[in-house]
Amino acid sequence: MTRGRKNRAADGLDRFNRIRPETNVLFSALFILLALSTVLPVVFVLMISVSSEASIARNGYSFFPAELSLDAYAYLWTSRDYIGRAFLNSVGITLAGTVLGLILTSTLGYALSRPNYRLRRVYTVMLLVPMLFSGGLVATYMINTQVYHLKNTYLSLILPGACSSFHVVVMRTFFQTTVPDSIIESGKIDGARQFRIFTRLVLPLSLPVLATIGLFLTFGYWNAWYGAMLYLDSNHRELYPLQYVLISIEKNIAFMARNEEHFMGDTMRSIPSETVRMAIVMVVVLPIACSYPFFQRYFVSGLTIGAVKG
């Protein structure tokens, strides 16, 4: 009798969780459309970047260009030394900023997740205030340049974005909701100190949230260009990151296109002004897009688990 009731209950749950074929097809079609809406713009930009200026002038933008050309990438290749140095700068800044951000975020989040930490409430308030109120651009600039003397240094592009209140809150919540207290207590019983417990027991269980925060930091540092405009002078071009260099190239091309009557016709015709903008987008997007698969397996689980409780 008991087994029969259990079977009927299981059948009821199966019927409740079962999706009808029509609904399954509808959801599949919806997700296919969402996937296409994210992939097709990238493909569209790629096709424009390999189109010729003449075909764009005749037919406009198209998924199927009438004439293929690599003039945009050849134009960028002429500045390969300058762009290559900027590319290495962006790679170094992204790696250093991501590693430093993970160290600061994980250690602070772990300390705030411990209920017996005396200054937990004080630091939590100090952490939440910047999420609601900003000190302003002028104050930030004055502190970074006049107090910390970060102007015209790589640190000006790394330190300001290394530790985010949002990232710390996600990390703290993950430690509170996912890492069992019994594991930490077992480490204390074995005589391990907090640093050893954190590095040997807590961090191996925190790969999802570390990958999630690491992905956020990587995107932020790789796409950052505003800090270079604020803190780097024009006589320190060797420090420029890739995005700032490419944006500067695009602005110069746009300026020449708007004022083409002041330039020689041959000069303007030799610059693929339309396609080079799309080539710049591809140069920026492809490296960071290639890094996403390494984070994908942890991204969703880390973000959702870390957001269970505030």
pLDDT tens, position by position, 171-227? 998 888 888 888 888 888 888 888 888 888 888 888 888 888 988 899 899 989 899
In the structure encoding, which two tokens stand for residue 125, read together? 């308030």
Q: Helix H segments across the chain?
A: 2-17, 21-49, 53-59, 71-77, 80-113, 120-132, 137-142, 155-158, 165-178, 181-189, 194-197, 207-222, 226-231, 242-258, 265-269, 273-305
- Position 8 scores a pLDDT of 54
In the structure encoding, which two tokens stand for residue 145, read together? 């340049």
- Position 308 scores a pLDDT of 43
- Position 306 scores a pLDDT of 43
Cα 103 to Cα 137: distance, rounded to the nearest angstrom = 26
- Position 209 scores a pLDDT of 87
Q: What is the CB neighbour count within 10 angstroms for residue 215?
A: 21
Q: Phi/psi of residue 154, each to 5°?
A: -65, -30
In the chain, the amino acid numbered 158 is I
CA dihedral of 272, 273, 275, 280, whole degrees rounded to 10 = 110
Residues of the chain with pLDDT below 70 are 1-18, 254-273, 294-310
